[in-house]
Amino acid sequence: MSKKLLLFLIMIAFLSVSFVFALEDNPHNETPVNLEEEDMLYKNSNNSYEARIVDHANLLTQNEKEKLLKEMIPLTDYGNILFFSTDATTEEYYAIHVYQSFYGTSTGSLFMIDAEHNKTSIFSEGKNKQIITNYKVYSIDKSLSSYMSQKNYYGCASHAFSKFNTLLSGGIVLEPLRYASSVFIALTLSFLLSFLFLLFKYKNKTNINQEELYDFHHTQGKVTVNKTGTRHDDGPYPYNHRY
Amino acid sequence: MSKCPHCGGEIQFSVEKQKVHCNYCGADFDASELVQDTKKAKKVEDLSQKETLSGKSYLCSQCGATLLSFDETAVTFCSYCGSQNVLEDKLVVQTAPDFIIPFSKTQEECIANYKEAITNAWFCPNYMKSDLVVNRFRGIYMPYELYNLHFSGDCVNKGEKYADFKDDFIYYDQYDLHSEVDSTCNGISFDLLSKYYDEYSQSIPFDYKEAKPFNSNYLPGFYADCKDLDESVYDEKAIKIAENISRRHLMHNPVYMNYNCQDPKVPYQITERKTGLCPVYFTAIRDKDNKHLHYAIINGQTGKVCADLPVDFKKYLLFSILFAIPLFFFVNSLGIIFPSIINGFALFAAIAGTAIFLKQLIKCNEKEKRDKDIGYYSHKKDEKTSKEKTEKTKQAKGIIFLANFGIISMLILTGVLVISGKAFIKLYGLTGFHYVASFVMVVLLLWFFLFNFFANIKGRVQPDFQIFDNSFLVKIIPSVIIPTIIVILNPISDYYYYISSVISLSLILLSFYDLVKLQNKLASRPIPQLEKRGGDEHE
């Protein structure tokens, strides 16, 4: 294998390993969640999945909670659905901890509003996780920024659950910018790979050092070794030399 | 030249029959038997008297190339430059070479191989296999030199081993490694024409076991070129090739590695040099702008094809667009197309494009100057030129090193950013470390571009060597700078990332036209302007 190819493979391996290490791990935190306090709850009689609203930060009015619960009920066909709000300082990955505190690893989704930091979090588990992927979460999150900036928490949650419903029922969330970007990336990759393929295919293969081209015979006896002398080089700390 | 012993008519060597054929009476003769008979007929007492090579030379008034013809067929165009201004010059008589490898593939077979090679080169324009091109293939005997090398005896190489570390000095014991070696390397060959590019002759090796003692009866029906290089020009290179091959055998013995002998050599001696004629089918195809040539050479013994293959941009574009369709679905399925990722990809693609362009440009320059063509430079016999050549080669190597260093640094930095877990996934969450890393990345990029820019201006590289083509420069620099600025500024709105990526990727896509243009330049040669050979050709 040529040195250049070996170096290239090492670099690709290096970047791939780096990428794997860059993926986030699950957190370890012990912040307790008060499981007793629940504002609204609905249990689906067919599959015992729940729709639950836990509004610790008091972001929603009673009316809004009732309306939101009605919108969450259809989502129980697919799994548990939880709305959670908090105004306490939360560490990273708190959303995961909240959901697992209520439902463990059961299929479902959580929508959380952190009023302290004015940010939203979405977490899914089980089958829902395969549908509401990282990019979908990112996309939905971005679409909620206007609601959050206006502190329209009901509108924010309603919009989020509406997106969940579209995705879980098999619908498509249009992401025109993403598709356009994918087109550009695909074209660039295609042009680049085609050009590299062209370079490889068009190379006139010459190797004048190929033994097969010549009439080569070689016999070699045992190698004997004779010492001829000694030399020295500076050590790792040359400034310590005594002169 | 022999005549038909039956009817006295003109004879030609028939590739299909591998015999000498008389076009008048249809008789076939073995080439070597015909020589003996002819000499007997002439009552030549010494049958081992060396033959001469005589033919009519045709001189190209455009490039100065000469071609020898051995029958009544006139030369109507020049094989080296495609010009039709070819004049009959004079009768040439030379000392005959030692061997000849006769044509064993017919022109039709070779053209079929050529057309297959063009078909396999997907992006090659169709005119390269048109009748206009293939009908201009001409069977030419090229002068070659064959080396036989040998060494037998005690082969001594130097080695050393770590001995001690004392008083801040590291001591190494030095050794002589002796080995009884008997090594032969026969058949190393080089062309003896300064105008024939070395890379062609090395791409179509011949099997010298089929070489026959020289016999002029193999020549009629074909052409030949006369050597214009001294026979010792390639001595050093021949020895080096033999040394490279023998090194692999020597290194099988672990003693050499144990004693840090990284480059063991067998001191070959040249035992024999033979000159001969080797068969090629050759043609030169002029570019559309009539300033460059594409050469196509086919080995007349094995049928192997070596050709300059240009790229049809329309074919390349169509292939890339079709290939982009499955890639689009693949990219979409990855689920990681965040705006920051797209921006980072645009940056990476711009750097990759620049690195490819720079490497191609340097290759193009080396090819035009023929830095590695030993025969070409020895023919010039100009000391200053050879010094300049060494200097230019060093500078070109320096630029390649810088280009590689720049791209490797970029990749390492990217890897560092990814390891910290915040770059490819969530660039918007940059910490101070990332700002520093991004800043260093930009500084490296700027240094990479500015160094080459100033190097060009100050003429540290040869003055006529433009490192950057202007149109490529205009496209690629903004496509690098814009995404880098976005990475550092880290705007909140995704639209900045999208706009930056679209601009950058669009410019990169446009720059591929320049890359293809450069590849076409690499696959073409300047029209030769050769010195006319004058004086008495009798040897």
* Same-domain pairing of A103 and A190: no
Question: Of A47-51, A237-241, B254-258, B485-489, where does mean pLDDT reach its minimum?
Answer: A237-241
> Which ipTM value was assigned to this complex?
0.74
Judge: A241–B180 Cβ closer than 8 Å, yes or no.
Answer: no
A145 & A113 share domain: yes
* Contact across the interface for A213 and B205, Cβ inside 8 Å: yes
Indicate if A106 and A124 belong to the same structural domain. yes
- Closest CA of chain A from B396, distance in Å: 18
CA distance A64 to chain B (A): 30
Residue A230 lies in a domain: no
Report pLDDT for B417: 54
Does A147 lie in the same domain as A44?
yes
Of B167, B253, B316, the CB nearest to A194: B316
**Both A109 and A161 in a single domain?**
yes
Contact A134 B337 (CB under 8 A): no
- Of the candidates A194, A208, A215, the beta carbon closest to that of B202 is on A208
* B177 in contact with chain A, both atoms CB, cutoff 8 A: yes
Q: Does residue A3 sit at the B interface (CB-CB below 8 Å)?
A: no
Gap between the Cα atoms of B183 and A211, Å rounded: 13
Residues A199 and A106 in one domain: no
Is residue A69 domain-resident?
yes
Cβ distance of B199 and A204 shorter than 8 Å: yes
Nearest CB to B509 within list A187, A206, A236 = A187
pLDDT score for B539: 35
The answer to whether residue A238 sits within a structural domain is: no
**C-alpha pair distances (Å), B120 with each of A200, A212, B11, B50, B129:** 13, 25, 38, 45, 12
Nearest-angstrom CA–CA distance, B54 and B93: 4
Q: Which of B167, B168, B181 sits opposite A220 (nearest CB)?
A: B181
Round the average pLDDT of chain B to a whole number and report it. 77
Mutate to test the interface with A, among B328, B351, B405 (most CBs of A within 10 A): B328
Asked if the C-beta of B250 comes within 8 angstroms of chain A's C-beta atoms, the answer is: yes
Residue A4 resides in a domain: no
In a shared domain, residues A158 and A185 = no
Task: Give a yes or no: residue A55 inside a domain.
Answer: yes
**Is there a contact between B418 and A22 if contact means CB atoms under 8 Å apart?**
yes
d(CA B263, CA B160) in angstroms, rounded, equals: 12
Q: Do B202 and A206 touch (CB under 8 A)?
A: yes
Instruction: Give per-residue pLDDT as tens, B46-73.
Output: 444 556 777 777 777 777 777 777 776 6
Cβ pair B183:A182 closer than 8 A: no
- In this structure, the answer to whether residues A156 and A190 fall within a common structural domain is no
Same domain, A177 and A163: no
Which chain B residues touch A22 with a CB distance below 8 Å?
418-425
> What pLDDT, on a 0 to 100 scale, did the predictor assign at position B77?
73
In a domain, A208, yes or no: no
Range of the domain at A188: 173-203
Q: Which CATH number does the domain housing residue A112 bear? A: 3.10.310.50
- A209:B174 CB<8 A: no
Domain total of chain A? 2
List the one residue out of B103, B105, B106, B58 whose CA is nearest residue B84. B58
Chain A residues in contact with B502 by the CB 8 A cut-off are 180-181, 184
Q: Is there a domain that residue A59 lies in?
A: yes
Residue numbers of chain B with a pLDDT score lower than 50? 42-48, 383-384, 418, 421-431, 457-468, 532-539
Nearest-by-Cβ selection for B177 from A213, A223, A238:
A223
Q: What is the DSSP string of A195-213?
A: HHHHHHHT-----TT-GGG
d(CA B214, CA A236): 65
Kindly give the interhelix angle for A176-201 and B313-334, rounded to the nearest 10 degrees. Answer: 130
Confidence band, pLDDT 50/70/90 cuts, at residue A139: confident
Nearest to B324 among A19, A186, A220 (CB): A186
Say whether residue A217 is in contact with chain B using an 8 A CB cutoff.
yes
Q: ∠A204-B234-B55 over CA atoms, to 5°?
A: 85
Classify residue A151: in a domain, yes or no.
yes
Question: Are residue A161 and residue A45 in the same domain, yes or no?
Answer: yes
Which tens digit of pLDDT belongs to each residue from A71-83?
Answer: 999 999 999 999 9
Do A58 and A159 lie in one domain? The reply is yes
Among residues A113, A142, A168, the one where a domain terminates is A168
Specify whether A55 is located in the same domain as A120.
Answer: yes
